[in-house]
Structure 1
Amino acid sequence: MSKKGRNKPAELIKRIERKAPEYLDLLTAGNDSDVELAFNALLDKSLRNLESNRTHYASLDEEGLTAVLSGALSVPGLTVTQEAHSNGHVDITIDFDHCVPARRKLGEAKIEGGPRRHVKGLEQLLDRYTTGRELGGLLILYVRLPNISARVKKLRDAMDASPPRSQKGTTQDHVLLQWAFASTHVLKSGNPHEVSHVACNMCPK
């Protein structure tokens, strides 16, 4: 093979890194932690797109907003499906196509409406849809009321004061995303399962 031919893979990697760094991070992720970091970077980018165009999406309901989010998340390396079946119709199913072993994340999406509604969505995600083989859970909150920071804090305080669904310890700050936190719950299988609670600022004013 010529020297020029040998350089082609390196040139391709450099091009991908320049044009689609999120795809490269997903492709090269070696463990669950790396997969989560790569996914969160892509999720952050997708949420920012929703927020910067929120006036255009003001008339959309949960399903409509989730359709926009799913489209933004659908990049090479990720298959994002709405209303797929897993003991019911899951709002978002995310398959990591290039991961070995196979990895999947399930997500529930809600218009944020206070702690009681939030816990109901969490219980639905954990008790109905999650099998225990997934890579963590995802609860997306579309916040249309003012002061998203205070509303997220209210949710955390409520969960810490009255831990729902076999929650282990208190909620934790999310490692990457703004207006987000994480909680760990013991599934019926006995396995611990971390859920990311991620708010998206859709307040129209």
Structure 2
Amino acid sequence: MTNPNTLAALLERIKRKAPEYFDILTAETNEEFDKAFDVVLGQAISSLERQSNNYKRLDEVGLSGVLATALSIPGLTVTPEAHSNGHVDLLIMADHSVPQFIKLAEAKIHRGYGWHAKGLSQLFGRYTTGRETRGLLISFVKQMNISGATKEVREKMDERSPCCQQGKTSDHIFKWSFLSKHAHPCGDTLEVGHVGCNLFVKSK
């Protein structure tokens, strides 16, 4: 029989040494999972930005693959180019979770609002079934001024309301990022996180 004191000590050790793993594994609601996942995503995005010089020649598929590797931690299975009514860039699933937590992510190299809106249309209008947690649209920004680029996309979304956007966008916990809500054919209003990744490399 397992010693309960030993088990409790093990759980406390995991929580102390790897809180992001612990929170992913113990999430019981979509909100708890999204909150735990944001910690892992933030670390992954920051890692890509610190090594942007190594990735300057990669296309969207290559950058998505690097991101998938960075997001692959105990408790998460991340599959690039997975099938969900088409080939979504990333399928992210919590391992052995009940209820099942699924997140879909589309990644685009930033080329202005039109390209961003196309990615949103693919993610929300095609791949999303309505059963997933908050959707994710990653913008790999290789140009200068990611702050201005994000602001422009956000302002145009609030002006044009793509994909049945409900109300105005709202702030995300991440810099150069925001949230939007959209009416889905399943009958629910679903949320999408738009997350910017600064991959600008200054020429020598």
TM-score under structure 1 length normalisation: 0.95
Residue 184 of structure 1 corresponds to 181
What secondary structure is seen at the aligned counterpart in 2 of 1:24?
helix
> What is the one-letter code of the residue matched to 1:181?
F
CA distance in 2, matches of 1:25, 1:98: 14
- State the 1:183 CA deviation: 0.4
CA distance in 2, matches of 1:98, 1:85: 20
Q: After the TM superposition, which residues 28-177 of structure 1 pair with which residues of structure 2 at under 5 Å, given as runs?
A: 28-174=26-172, 176-177=173-174
State which of 5, 8, 11 in structure 1 corresponds to 2:9.
11
C-alpha root-mean-square deviation of aligned residues, in Å? 1.3
> What is the one-letter code of the residue matched to 1:112?
H
State which of 185, 193, 197 in structure 2 corresponds to 1:200.
197
Aligned residues: 202
CA distance in 1, matches of 2:90, 2:43: 17
CA distance in 2, matches of 1:18, 1:59: 38
Q: 1:5-42 CA deviation, whole Å, 9 max, x = no partner?
A: 33211221232123321100111222211111100000
C-alpha contact 2:82 2:90 (8 A) present in aligned 1: yes
- State the 1:178 CA deviation: 1.5
CA distance in 1, matches of 2:175, 2:72: 21
CA distance in 1, matches of 2:8, 2:52: 40
> What is the one-letter code of the residue matched to 1:150?
G
- Tell me which moved more, 98-107 or 115-124: 98-107
> What is the one-letter code of the residue matched to 1:124?
Q
What secondary structure is seen at the aligned counterpart in 2 of 1:56?
helix
C-alpha contact 2:28 2:99 (8 A) present in aligned 1: no
Cα distance 1:169–1:17, how it changes in 2: closer, same or farther (>3 A)? same
> What is the one-letter code of the residue matched to 2:94?
F
C-alpha contact 2:24 2:75 (8 A) present in aligned 1: yes
> What is the one-letter code of the residue matched to 1:113?
R
Q: Which stretches of structure 1, 4 residues or longer, exceed 6 Å deviation after superposition?
A: none
CA distance in 1, matches of 2:134, 2:41: 14
- Tell me which moved more, 99-108 or 194-203: 99-108
**Identity percentage of aligned residues:** 50
Any stretches of 5+ residues in structure 2 without a counterpart?
none
CA distance in 2, matches of 1:20, 1:177: 21
TM-score under structure 2 length normalisation: 0.95
